[in-house]
């Protein structure tokens, strides 16, 4: 890497000029800001204590040394305490030549520093279909896993399906009472949608009961607890945990409907998993761990038989781990699942992709696992992301006001199809090809719109903004790739040579594009470090924007000089490849033509 080369040369320089060794904090080199001339900037202020001279004088002395002793540096300029270095065109051309045939430019191979990383995402409940919030979760998790793998780590994608608990029993109870034998076959409804309707129905009827109890003079808090429907659901949960056959059979049947529906939605989103865990299979592991910890006085059992852990000394509150009736809570299965995953994969790091509403939960989980004696609990990282909101506010599953994932994807495809038809972009394609391309555009628009935003920020989702062939959108970048592939196809048809000669002169625009390609590896590294696909998404936009300016301003196929023409085609091909590879890490496909 050029920065490492410059850092080494700077260390040599300081030793030669001032007889001192540089510390890590003093060796600061970064990309030069666009408003200044140069490629990389040396921060001189940390060095003046060594030189015992003014910043400008120190910068001049270092600049002259690097000009004479670093073959990569061809000139420099000083702006106050900043030394701006210009790198030779030969360096950039040799780099491009070295990557000309490399299809994995920017990707890092596994090394001794590679880690085994588990990324958990999706985590759906089997009482409702996947919605817009799940889309952000799945896209983030899938992309982060891909970016970590591209950074050289061994990555496993996992999912925990929350297939048991009071919420699941609510859907089951509503189906028992009002289902009349409804199933996906006799209703024509997707299984997860059908079960979700019963979850909404339960909430509707439950609210009626609470209102009636309040009207009879019972306080709201007590009315919510005493409503017969809730008590029936709680009894159903107890029966489920006691393996009551009728309840277990109903549970298995309804979950099977949901799993089939989930699989279809995952295929639409283009996400997958290396292993899926089920809460129904992991909660007992957590329960056993908790009961053993009670015997060791790590956790406390109260008079009503509920189990708690006091985390006040850790800056947290008391946390219930088992209810008084012996049934488990959400954290019970998380304890069991984490232990099973460590046994299965011996991970170095565990990334949980879960919304910021669960920030407190994961602080508790880490501390509880530490108290249980698991040193690997320190490796837990909660990738806390912001919610996805609509112009009208938050989504609510119980009230049925969510944006369903399947419906949203279908609407995106319809919008992309209509827009492509209006612009005439796919007129020359067969029906089959245009259908496939429109789906690619729709999913590219949806995924890019969500992933270009920093995970920690809340997204206000607007589908119409996402499908646009101009601006910071997925379709704009997809179109840039297709434009380059079309250009290269024409070059082949015209028998034009596409092979780089490293003696070619290059313009500033061309050098800037090569630098962008060169920076791909560091963008992947930083995106992996920060668990942020947004860095990669916006890198793609800047690359596509810069390439389109280059395409409009500089001759390519019509360039008469064969060496320049070949160079520009090689450069174009590498840009297309990097855009394709980067989008692949975001889970987005790019069409060959549009």
pLDDT digits (tens, 9 = 90+) for 18-32: 999 998 788 899 999
The answer as to whether 103 is a domain residue is: no
Same domain, yes or no: 431 and 384: no
| Confidence (pLDDT) at 401 | 55
Place 569 in a pLDDT band, splitting at 50, 70 and 90: very high
578 contacts 517 by C-beta, under 8 angstroms: yes
Single out the residue of 105, 118, 176 nearest to residue 149, CA to CA: 118
Single out the residue of 164, 168, 160 nearest to residue 337, CA to CA: 160
Same domain, yes or no: 241 and 320: yes
Percentage of the residues of the chain whose pLDDT score is greater than 70: 98
What average pLDDT does the segment 385-400 reach?
64
User: Is 399 a residue whose pLDDT tops 70?
Assistant: no
Same domain, yes or no: 171 and 69: no
What average pLDDT does the segment 193-204 reach?
96
Say how far apart CA 62 and CA 380 lie, in whole Å.
Answer: 44
The answer as to whether 594 is a domain residue is: no
Same domain, yes or no: 385 and 412: no
Say how far apart CA 43 and CA 519 lie, in whole Å.
Answer: 20
Structural domain that includes position 504: 405-585
CATH number of residue 183's parent domain? 3.40.50.620
Same domain, yes or no: 132 and 263: yes
Q: Where are the beta strands (DSSP E) in 362-412?
A: 380-385, 388-389
Q: Where are the beta strands (DSSP E) in 360-408?
A: 380-385, 388-389
Total number of domains constituting the chain:
3
What average pLDDT does the segment 301-319 reach?
95
The answer as to whether 395 is a domain residue is: no
User: Is 520 a residue whose pLDDT tops 50?
Assistant: yes
Element (H, E) at 485: helix 474-493
The answer as to whether 106 is a domain residue is: no
Q: What pTM was estimated for this model as a whole? A: 0.92
Same domain, yes or no: 382 and 417: no
- Out of 67, 87, 107, a domain closes at 87
The answer as to whether 467 is a domain residue is: yes
Cβ-based neighbours of 61, under 8 Å, separated by 6 or more: 17, 51, 53
| Confidence (pLDDT) at 67 | 96
Same domain, yes or no: 377 and 452: no
For residue 573, the Cα-to-chain-centroid distance in whole angstroms is: 27
C-alpha distance from residue 331 to each of 225, 360, 370 (Å): 22, 11, 14
For 456-484, the pLDDT digits (tens) are: 999 987 777 788 888 899 999 999 999 99
Q: Torsions phi, psi of 347, nearest 5?
A: -70, 155
| Confidence (pLDDT) at 398 | 46
CATH number of residue 18's parent domain? 3.30.1360.70
- Out of 87, 111, 132, a domain closes at 87
162 contacts 229 by C-beta, under 8 angstroms: no
What average pLDDT does the segment 156-174 reach?
96
Same domain, yes or no: 346 and 472: no
The answer as to whether 537 is a domain residue is: yes
- Token pair 């879960």 is found at 354
Q: In terms of DSSP H, where are the helices of 161-244? A: 166-178, 184-187, 191-215, 220-226, 228-241
- Token pair 């994995």 is found at 104
State the chain's mean pLDDT as an integer: 93
Say how far apart CA 312 and CA 316 lie, in whole Å.
Answer: 5
358 contacts 382 by C-beta, under 8 angstroms: yes
Place 391 in a pLDDT band, splitting at 50, 70 and 90: low
Same domain, yes or no: 318 and 253: yes
Q: Please classify residue 234 by burial: count the beta carbons closer than 10 Å to its beta carbon, then call 0-12 exposed, 13-18 middle and 19+ buried.
A: middle
The answer as to whether 572 is a domain residue is: yes
- Out of 338, 365, 389, a domain closes at 389
Same domain, yes or no: 384 and 439: no
Same domain, yes or no: 267 and 380: yes
Same domain, yes or no: 149 and 47: no
| Confidence (pLDDT) at 114 | 93
User: Is 233 a residue whose pLDDT tops 60?
Assistant: yes
The answer as to whether 43 is a domain residue is: yes
Say how far apart CA 200 and CA 398 lie, in whole Å.
Answer: 5
């Amino acid at each position: 890497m050029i920065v490492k080369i410059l850092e080494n040369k700077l260390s040599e320089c300081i030793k030669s000029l001032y007889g001192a060794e540089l510390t890590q904090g003093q060796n600061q080199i970064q990309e030069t800001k666009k408003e200044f001339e140069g490629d990389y900037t040396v921060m001189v202020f940390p060095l003046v204590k060594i030189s015992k001279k003014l910043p400008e004088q120190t910068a001049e002395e270092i600049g002259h040394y690097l000009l004479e002793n670093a073959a990569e540096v061809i000139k420099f300029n000083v702006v106050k305490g900043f030394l701006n270095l210009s790198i030779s065109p030969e360096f950039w051309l040799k780099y491009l030549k070295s990557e000309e045939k490399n299809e994995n430019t920017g990707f890092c191979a596994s090394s001794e520093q590679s880690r085994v990383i588990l990324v958990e995402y999706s985590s759906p409940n089997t009482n409702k279909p996947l919605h817009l919030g799940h889309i952000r979760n799945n896209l983030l998790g899938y992309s982060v896993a891909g970016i970590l793998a591209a950074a050289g780590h061994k990555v496993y994608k996992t999912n925990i399906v929350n297939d048991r608990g009071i919420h699941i029993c609510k859907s089951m109870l509503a189906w028992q009472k009002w289902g009349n034998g409804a199933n996906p076959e006799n209703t024509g409804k997707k299984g997860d949608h059908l079960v979700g309707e019963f979850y909404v129905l339960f909430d509707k009827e439950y609210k009626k009961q609470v209102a009636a109890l309040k009207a009879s003079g019972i306080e709201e808090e007590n009315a919510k607890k005493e409503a017969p429907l809730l008590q029936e659901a709680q009894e159903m949960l107890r029966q489920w945990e006691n393996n009551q056959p009728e309840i277990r059979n109903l549970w298995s049947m309804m979950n099977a409907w949901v799993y089939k529906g989930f699989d279809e939605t995952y295929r639409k989103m283009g996400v997958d998993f290396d292993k899926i865990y089920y809460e129904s299979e992991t909660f007992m592991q957590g329960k056993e761990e908790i009961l053993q910890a009670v015997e060791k006085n790590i956790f406390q059992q109260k008079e009503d038989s509920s189990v708690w852990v006091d985390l006040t000394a850790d800056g947290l509150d008391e946390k219930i781990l088992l209810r008084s009736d012996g049934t488990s809570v959400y954290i019970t299965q998380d304890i069991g699942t984490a232990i099973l995953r460590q046994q299965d994969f011996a991970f170095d790091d565990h990334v949980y992709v879960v919304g910021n509403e669960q920030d407190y939960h994961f602080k508790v989980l880490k501390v509880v696992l530490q108290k249980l004696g698991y040193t690997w609990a320190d490796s837990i990282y909660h990738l806390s992301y912001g919610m996805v909101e609509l112009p009208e506010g938050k989504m609510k599953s119980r009230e049925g006001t969510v944006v369903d994932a399947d419906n949203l994807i279908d609407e995106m495809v319809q919008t992309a199809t209509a827009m492509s038809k209006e612009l005439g972009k796919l007129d020359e394609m067969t029906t089959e090809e245009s259908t496939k391309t429109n789906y690619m555009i729709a999913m590219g628009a949806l995924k890019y719109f969500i992933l270009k935003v920093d995970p920690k920020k809340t997204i206000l989702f607007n589908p119409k903004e996402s499908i646009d062939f101009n601006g910071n959108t997925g379709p704009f970048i997809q179109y840039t790739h297709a434009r380059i592939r079309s250009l290269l196809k024409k070059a082949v048809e015209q028998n034009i040579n596409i092979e780089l000669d490293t003696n070619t002169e290059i313009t500033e625009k061309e050098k800037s594009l090569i630098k962008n390609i060169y920076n791909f590896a560091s963008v992947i590294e930083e995106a992996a470090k920060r668990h942020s696909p947004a860095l990669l998404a916006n890198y793609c936009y800047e690359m596509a924007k810069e390439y389109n300016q280059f395409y409009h301003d500089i001759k390519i196929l019509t360039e008469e000089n064969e060496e320049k023409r070949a160079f520009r085609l090689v450069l174009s091909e590498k840009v297309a490849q990097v855009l394709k590879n980067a989008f692949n890490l975001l889970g987005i496909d790019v069409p060959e033509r549009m």
